[in-house]
Amino acid sequence: MIQKNNYILGIESSCDDTAAAVIHNGKVLSNVVATQKIHEEYGGVVPELASRAHQQNIVPVVQLALRKANIDKKQLNAIAFTSGPGLMGSLLVGTSFSKSLAIGLDIPLIDVNHMQAHILAHFIKEEEQTAPNFPFLALTISGGHTQIVTVSDYFKMEVIGQTIDDAVGEAFDKSAKTLGLPYPGGPLIDTYAQKGNPKAFKFPKPKVSPLDFSFSGLKTSFLYFIQKNVALNPQFISENIEDICASLQFTIVDYLMDKLKNAVKHTGIKEIAIGGGVSANSGIRKALKEAETKYGWKTHIPKFEYCTDNAAMIAIVGELKYKQGIFAESNVSANPRLKI
């Protein structure tokens, strides 16, 4: 029977973060993330190593989430887990673990789409964030995705624009690699960018259809720009790191904002929510805040810890589905290419 007063455990293992969280009536009681450091040495996520690390982390992470929430596992009403999209081996660890725990506790199992969860994280009850009103536009920007989605209800979403090649997070991470920065380089570019001049260097904005994105051209022109300048001055990167990062970030943020402006024009919807790891970026956060007065938009920026991969967003979707009685079949399986 569906309980009004419920405790939902969320489990996230789609990429390189093993995460577990407990939500009680929309509020986060615990939100634990074990980030896998092993990938830093390789300059990107190594799927095989990610699956192994999930296997090692998942039990301690879940136990810690329950302990921090100050509840016993027997008090849980349902288990929500990420079924996709993501890396197959990583997803399988969370999927199998969640199935076993749900059957052991004899409670419902709820499958969650990772990209929907990045959007629905806005419905977590927190002082620092407000829930968007339907319909709204969601810009999902992460290491694996770049999409503009119209959201007319919790589970009524339509992708109206997306990247035709790399995701925006990849553009950040690959450019950071060109600069010799460790993986993931997005947050490091952001840190340097905040001290630099965004107009110091100019990079071309890729041209594709109005609502779609492309980042591979920018990545390549950035690589050539760095190679050319390092050939002239071997100290070019270290002498200009702040200006280089500020200029790159300015170009990317401006490009994302151009696309949002096109989407607002196309749909007439002026309420916008962002989600995904790149929404932690200071440049996009500032540009969206400014858009409220500049264009009269209503914008929603998630609390920092709900931007990058986390299980609180999986648990809130779990709660929304639990209340509607939407549960997974017992033969549910991981789907690395799951669509919104």
Q: Which residues bind Zn ion (CB under 5 A)?
A: 142, 309
Q: DSSP of 285-326, one letter per residue?
A: HHHHHHHHHHH--EEE---GGGTSS-SHHHHHHHHHHHHHT-
Angle CA(129)–CA(269)–CA(293) in degrees, nearest 5?
60
Interface pick for ligand KG4 out of 143, 161, 196, 302 (rule CB under 6 A): 143
- Binding partner at 278 among Zn ion, ligand KG4, none, C-beta below 5 to 8 Å by kind: ligand KG4
Kindly report the backbone phi and psi dihedral angles of residue 268, in degrees, each rounded to the nearest multiple of 5, phi listed first: 80, 5
For residues 196 and 222, give the distance between their C-alpha atoms in angstroms, rounded to a whole number: 17
Nearer to Zn ion, 116 or 175 (CB): 116
User: Helix crossing, 236-267 with 216-232: angle to 10°?
Assistant: 160
How do 136-141 and 271-275 pair as beta strands? parallel
For residues 62 and 158, give the distance between their C-alpha atoms in angstroms, rounded to a whole number: 33
97 is written with which tokens? 């673990």
Interface pick for ligand KG4 out of 12, 173, 212, 319 (rule CB under 6 A): 173
Torsion of Cα atoms, 163 then 141 then 206 then 135, to 10°:
80
Beta strand extents in the chain (DSSP E only): 7-12, 17-24, 27-35, 78-84, 109-113, 136-141, 146-153, 156-162, 271-275, 298-300
Residue nearest to ligand KG4 (CB): 277
For residues 34 and 220, give the distance between their C-alpha atoms in angstroms, rounded to a whole number: 33
- Binding partner at 33 among Zn ion, ligand KG4, none, C-beta below 5 to 8 Å by kind: none
Q: Report if residue 142 touches ligand KG4, rule: CB under 6 A.
A: yes
Interface pick for ligand KG4 out of 22, 259, 308, 319 (rule CB under 6 A): 308
Nearer to Zn ion, 115 or 263 (CB): 115
The kind and range of the H/E element at 189 are helix 186-193
Q: Report if residue 12 touches ligand KG4, rule: CB under 6 A.
A: no
- Binding partner at 94 among ligand KG4, Zn ion, none, C-beta below 5 to 8 Å by kind: none
Kindly give, in sequence order, each residue whose CB lies less than 8 Å from that of residue 286, ignoring residues fewer than 6 positions away. none
Measured from the CB of residue 185, what is the shortest distance to ligand KG4 in angstroms? 6
Q: Report if residue 169 touches ligand KG4, rule: CB under 6 A.
A: yes
Measured from the CB of residue 306, what is the shortest distance to ligand KG4 in angstroms? 10
| Amino acid residing at 162 | Q
Name which of residues 280 to 299 contact ligand KG4 (CB under 6 A): 280-281
Q: Report if residue 277 touches ligand KG4, rule: CB under 6 A.
A: yes
Nearer to ligand KG4, 7 or 215 (CB): 215
Q: Report if residue 278 touches ligand KG4, rule: CB under 6 A.
A: yes
Nearer to Zn ion, 6 or 281 (CB): 281
Compute the Cα dihedral for 213, 214, 218, 221 and give only its sign. Answer: negative
- Binding partner at 172 among ligand KG4, Zn ion, none, C-beta below 5 to 8 Å by kind: ligand KG4
- Binding partner at 186 among ligand KG4, Zn ion, none, C-beta below 5 to 8 Å by kind: ligand KG4
Q: In what order do the strands lie in the sheet with 298-300?
A: 156-162, 146-153, 136-141, 271-275, 298-300
Q: Report if residue 302 touches ligand KG4, rule: CB under 6 A.
A: no
Q: Report if residue 84 touches ligand KG4, rule: CB under 6 A.
A: no
How many residues touch ligand KG4 under the rule CB under 6 A: the total is: 18
- Binding partner at 173 among ligand KG4, Zn ion, none, C-beta below 5 to 8 Å by kind: ligand KG4
Nearer to Zn ion, 142 or 163 (CB): 142
Measured from the CB of residue 292, what is the shortest distance to Zn ion in angstroms? 25
For residues 256 and 131, give the distance between their C-alpha atoms in angstroms, rounded to a whole number: 22
Measured from the CB of residue 317, what is the shortest distance to Zn ion in angstroms? 13
Which residues contact ligand KG4 (rule: CB under 6 A)? 15, 142-144, 169, 172-173, 184, 186-187, 190, 276-278, 280-281, 308-309
